[in-house]
Amino acid sequence: MSVWAARRFWTTATVVPTEGGFAVQLDARPVRTPRKAPLILPTAALAEAVAAEWQAQGDAVDPSTMPFTRTANSAIDTVTAQFDVVAQMVADYGASDLLCYRAVDPADLIEVQARGWDPLLDWAAESLGARLRTTAGIVHVAQPPESLAILNGLVRTLTPFRLAAFHELVAISGSLILALAVQRGRITAEEAWAQSRIDEDWQTALWGEDEEAAEVARGKRAAFLQADRFYRLCG
């Protein structure tokens, strides 16, 4: 059975300044979100990235090749309308941050985690004022309420467009601290991705690579780096 797909009807995708930012037009027809809101981007650079995705489409539109458009749609249709809900969802990662949960054994993995994650938790404590506790194993460790309040406040300073991208950085990595470290230039997105994969990379080195898992990881890495680029393009 064939799957329906939208067909390309335009020749050229262009960026046009408009009230509130920059719009993408397809042969002078403005692009709208799935909920029919005008797709208006906060910066020309981000609008150009979205327009490039539309320009690159073939005869059939493939949404899977349009990550910037998808995140922009989410920023307008979901994050703007439910900012408090999304911000809280992202901030809640601080209460169970990946960097706080350490292996019980072996000693080599414990050392790799400490070498990679301790400096980032120290940075969060010193630069952000948000000290988090660590634990061995998967039993929940309660975090200081004052630290969680600080992290919550930082998340809520983001614009809806930046929060849409930041959500991806946090959800994909499992760490609010990693995302904040990338946002503030403490580490690069590539470095953050590597830190988020310490456990998986350890298992791969020990048992060998699983082809299916590796393919999933490649997709997540691409999405993580695209989220970082989207965030930067927001200005």
Please give the sequence-ordered ranges of beta strands (E in DSSP) within the chain, or none if there are none: 13-18, 21-26, 29-30, 40-41, 101-102, 135-136
Supply 104's token pair: 């019980």
Query: Which pTM was predicted?
Result: 0.95
Query: In CATH, what class is 13-62?
Result: alpha beta
Supply 18's token pair: 């408009």
Topology (CATH) of 83-233:
ATP12-like fold (1.10.3580)
CA 147 to chain centre: 22
CA 233 to chain centre: 13
pLDDT tens, N- to C-terminus, the chain (235 residues): 334 458 899 999 999 999 999 999 999 999 999 999 999 999 999 999 999 999 999 999 999 999 999 999 999 999 999 999 999 999 999 999 999 999 999 999 999 999 999 999 999 999 999 999 999 998 999 999 999 999 999 999 999 999 999 999 999 999 999 999 999 999 999 999 999 999 999 999 989 989 999 999 999 999 999 999 999 999 9
Question: What residue spans define the domains of the chain?
Answer: 13-62, 83-233
Instruction: Please check whether the two domains, 13-62 and 83-233, share a CATH topology.
Output: no
Q: Which residues, in sequence order, are CB contacts of 78 under 8 Å at separation 6+?
A: 86, 164
The answer to whether the beta carbons of residues 94 and 152 sit under 8 Å apart is yes
pLDDT of the residue at 1? 34
Which of 27, 25, 24 is CA-nearest to residue 9?
27
Query: How many whole angstroms separate alpha carbon 133 and alpha carbon 57?
Result: 48
pLDDT of the residue at 227? 98
Any bridge partners for residue 15, and if so which? 24
Residue 113's identity, in one-letter code, is: Q
Q: Which residues of 209-221 are buried (b: 16+ CB within 10 A; e: fewer)?
A: eeeeeeeebeebb
> What number of CA atoms fall less than 13 Å from residue 86's CA on the CB side?
24
Supply 74's token pair: 């989410």
pLDDT of the residue at 6? 82
pLDDT of the residue at 19? 96
Supply 177's token pair: 């601290």
pLDDT of the residue at 141? 96
pLDDT of the residue at 7? 87
Coil vs helix vs strand at 215: helix
Supply 143's token pair: 């975090």
